[in-house]
Structure 1
Amino acid sequence: MLQVCGPPGTAAYAEDDALTMTTHQRPQVPAPAGERTELRLGVIPGEVHAAYLRRPGAHPASFLQTPAWARVKTGWRAESLGWFDADRRMVGSALVLYRRLPGVRRFFAYLPEGPGADWADPQLERWLDPLLGHLAATGAFAVRMGPPLAYRRWSARTLKDAAGPGRRVGDILPDMVEPLGAAVADRLRESGWRRCGEDGQGGDAQPRLVFEVPLAGRGLDDLWTGLNQEWRRNVKKASKSGVWTGVEGPRTLPGFHQLLRVTERRDGFALGRDLDYYRRQYAELNAEQPGRMRLYTARHQGELLAAHTLLTAPDGSRVWYQTGASADHRREVRPSNALQWRMLRDALTAGAAVYDMRGVPDDLDPAARAHGLLRWKLGTGGEAVETVGEWELPLQGAVNKALHRAMHTYLTRR
């Protein structure tokens, strides 16, 4: 395994003893208060990375930052990295995906919804500088990352009241601006990072605007009353109609995928993912941590009418409603509402703090087709959250900047 930018003399990595790094270095003397203390970056085995993410106190990680996700993605070379403090304790982690630019032996480095670092650290450069040095040494010409931080928030009520022709979420004064997200965005921009999409090129690969239902400190009654009247009516109708909801195994993935194709045709989008992709996702995520991915289903008179995938963070603090599919017929029995209500209840019972419904369109025009998905999710009583988004940086050197421009041209043509 390639070891770049790791502490000299690294012999092994231990999963126990607080994930300390075993080295032959002399212990470092802590720096005086106010001085910069260096962090060391090293390549770590995937099993150590996965164990760290489950440890109490680890920085919360998206499913996109797990070693298992690297095995889901084909066409990318993956690497797990860990940051270590002066006491050789692992204090942060990252999953880096490398994509080779056609025709050259250089790579584009991507950290989806990562890295898992201390973004509140006033010495943020001690996290990013070793990372950039490591990526440059591996042959990367540019890096894209997505700090897992919220930037602005809008309540369901605010967006419902603001809906109108030609209006978009970004036009509306948010209910909250997250200080940390705003500060990190400013610091990245000052350091030369470019927010994806700001110049009309290279938009985010992951959704910047997501929808979240807060669960922390709430009970089942709070969750129920948080639904709007239409949602409560539809959930009751599903129950009276005899809609059954539950969790099924991988044998139902073909049925889920057939419904997904129906949904794509009906709603005018195409994810472009075949059945093998979902089979691989189910197998790899659950092999790393049983129950990481679950397939929820809704049936009426035995027929599969809706199927949704739910992913759980390694520490259980967040769950994601990732992909939803439903049939064109028997929609009057409201299987998707029943299914989401079941998933919300299970997430609450499991102790998750956030139910993340992933991306939503920013269109607030009731006449627009895209507004339908946002309106449906608004009915849960949650909030739209704009993250700080994805940021790119060409690594130093004229050649790297030229390759970075070439990459964007290549992706645009694709």
Structure 2
Amino acid sequence: MTQTSEPHRTPGMRALTAERYAAFVRGRSTEEGGGYVSFLQCPSWAVVKEGWKSEYVGWFDGEGRQEGAALILYRQLPGVRRYFAYIPEGPVMDWDAPDLGKRLRTLLDHLRGAGAFAVRMGPPLTYRTWSAGTLKGAVGAGRRVGDVVPDLVDPLGASVADRLRAAGWQRCGEDGQGGGDAQPRYLFEVPLADRSLDDVWSGLNQEWRRNVKKATTAGVETAIGDASCLSDFHALLRLTEQRDGFRLGRSQEYFERQYQALNEEEPGRMRLYLARHQDEILAAHTVINLGRRAWYLTGASADHRREVRPSNALQWRIIRDVHAAGAAVYDMRGVPDTLDPQDRAFGLMRWKLGTGGQVAETLGEWELPLQGTVNRTLHRAMQAYLSRR
């Protein structure tokens, strides 16, 4: 994918250098710039996503002012010289812009020129929100988050969803094809803005506070590790996968590449937190920081000595650190949508609800096959390929 350096005065979309793109992302991640850009739209994520080609693009008005940007990842469909385009938790732009439709059409024209047969994107918008209290009161057999009346419906998210449908985009998973979203649709967020640490502590339920105190009494120690500790983290992750019945399929090399790329971009962007007890690492969690948001990305823990509650101790240490750093939101990432206590997945929901935060349903990911019968056929083939992977 070719890239250019300086924009012209002609309005529209053009390729950016990594440096210019990174500068725009930094500006947008500040409180003055809006405060939220996903780490998945950072240039470093293009390095992490091995096997994908990448391109940085920006939208400009007639005065040369940049109005938006996107990291586009391209995956080649095996056997053909055509690409599936993916914009994870992006693009980065004002989604309430009056000319949103025009901007998206410009994006599609650009992707056709780049040889893409279909595109998937994840507008970084919230659709509905439920407080922990609301969901705790709705727990029951067969219940799901979507069955519960939300505390808040975001009008912008609802409006953008309507506009995307009208333009032919389809929300991933609605037709049962392609395996649904690549990124979690339901996020768990702990609001930190305008809250003291005492307020956050009081927001934890009694079980959480008791477990944090139990870990302290038992002598659990928390610390920030370095790259040399990633082997310990990965070993714990394999144990966690076996115990909890899931498979991320990520090698130790993947996490080493992730750690190096993110921290070369900004020192401290990715941190590895460790909980030790009797000189043994019992839990390890990775955290990413960007602007006024921090993400709990991947957690792992040992099978034994769980009674000393290392994960609770580690999460409380992380919350204290990101609060001190000025984060407005601590994003604990995905939760299942089940509220049924008999579902195995409900354990994760229950654990995160104990922090007193909220579940936010994002707008989800949306796909559009680019015009043409061949492109639609390639799109179906790519959905099947991604489902197998």
Fold in common (TM above 0.5): yes
Say which of 262, 287, 294 aligns to 2:264: 287
String of CA shifts for 1:354-390, please: whole Å, max 9, x gaps: 1000000111111211100000000000001110100
Residue matched to 2:214: 237
Report the equivalent of 1:31. Answer: none
The answer for the alignment partner of 2:2 in structure 1 is 2
| 1:332-411 alignment, distance < 5 Å | 332-411=307-386
| 1:252-305 per-position Cα deviation (integer Å, ceiling 9, x unaligned) | 110010110111111111100010000000000000111110001111122111
**C-alpha separation in 2, matches of 1:348 and 1:120:** 29
Supply the distance in 1 between the matched residues of 2:201 and 2:37 (Cα, whole angstroms).
Answer: 28
What is the correspondence of 1:91-130 to structure 2 with a 5 Å cutoff? 91-130=67-106
Who is 1:261 aligned against?
A: 238
Structure 1 residue aligned with 2:12: 40
Q: Which residue of 2 aligns with 1:306?
A: 283
Kindly state the Cα deviation for residue 413 of structure 1 after the two structures are TM-superposed. Answer: 4.4
Q: Which residue of 1 aligns with 2:23?
A: 51
- CA deviation digits over 1:208-263, x for unaligned, max 9? 01100111111111100000000000011111111111111111110010110111
Amino acid at match of 2:78: P
Mapped partners of 1:234, 1:248: distance in 2:
23
1:34 is matched with none
Alpha-carbon distance between aligned partners in 1 of 2:321 and 2:67, rounded to the nearest angstrom = 31
The partner residue of 1:194 within 162, 170, 195 is 170
Q: Which residue of 2 aligns with 1:146?
A: 122
Q: Which residue of 1 aligns with 2:292?
A: 317
Partner Cα distance (1:359, 1:412) in 2? 19
Q: Residue deviations 1:106-138, cap 9 Å, x none?
A: 110000111101101122123211111100100
C-alpha distance in structure 1 between counterparts of 2:330 and 2:248, whole Å: 22
Distance across 2 between alignment mates of 1:395 and 1:58? 32
CA contact (8 A) 1:117 1:127 kept: no
Aligned mates of 1:115, 1:384 — CA distance in 2: 23
Deviates more, 1:163-172 or 1:49-58: 49-58
Q: Which amino acid aligns with 1:357?
A: M
Segments of 5+ residues of structure 1 without an aligned counterpart are 4-9, 14-20, 29-38
Give the conservation status (yes or no) of the 8 Å contact 1:58–1:92.
Answer: no
Secondary structure of the corresponding residue to residue 229 of structure 2: helix
Q: CA deviation at 1:58?
A: 4.2
Aligned to 2:252: 275
2:60 paired residue number: 84
Which amino acid is the alignment partner of residue 273 of structure 2? Answer: Y
Cα distance between partner residues in 2 of 1:83 and 1:61? 16
Question: Relative contact order (alpha carbons < 8 A, sep ≥ 6): 1 or 2 greater?
Answer: 2
**Which residue does 1:182 correspond to in 2?**
158
Q: CA deviation at 1:91?
A: 2.3
The amino acid of 2:236's aligned partner reads: L
Structure 2: how far apart are the matches of 1:221 and 1:240? 20
Structure 1: 4+ residue segments shifted above 6 A? none
Give the distance between the partners of 1:80 and 1:292, measured in 2 at CA.
20
2:148 counterpart residue number: 172
Q: Which residue of 1 aligns with 2:45?
A: 69
Contact 1:52 1:58 in 2 (8 A): no
Residue 220 in structure 1 maps to residue 197 in structure 2 = yes
Give the counterpart letter for 2:2 in structure 1.
L
What secondary structure does 1:102 align onto?
Answer: coil
Counterpart secondary structure, 2:248: coil
1:105 is displaced (CA, Å) by 0.9
AA in 2 matched with 1:44 = L
Residue 327 of structure 1: aligned partner: 302
Structure 1 residue matching 2:70: 3-state secondary structure: strand
Any idea what SS the aligned residue of 2:92 has? coil
Identity rate, percent = 65
Distance 1:410 1:230 in 2: 43
User: 1:139 offset after TM fit, Å?
Assistant: 0.5
User: What do the CA deviations read for 1:41-91 (whole angstroms, capped 9, x no partner)?
Assistant: 111111221122112454532111111000011110011111122221222
Paired residue type of 1:49: Y
Give the counterpart letter for 1:289 in structure 2.
E
Q: CA deviation at 1:408?
A: 2.0
> What is the deviation of 1:409?
3.0
Q: Any conservation in 2 of the 1:107–1:142 contact (CA below 8 Å)? A: yes
Query: 1:148 touches 1:387 (CA, 8 Å); kept in 2?
Result: yes
SS of 1:162's equivalent in the other structure is coil
Distance, in Å, in 1 between the alignment partners of 2:385 and 2:208 is 44
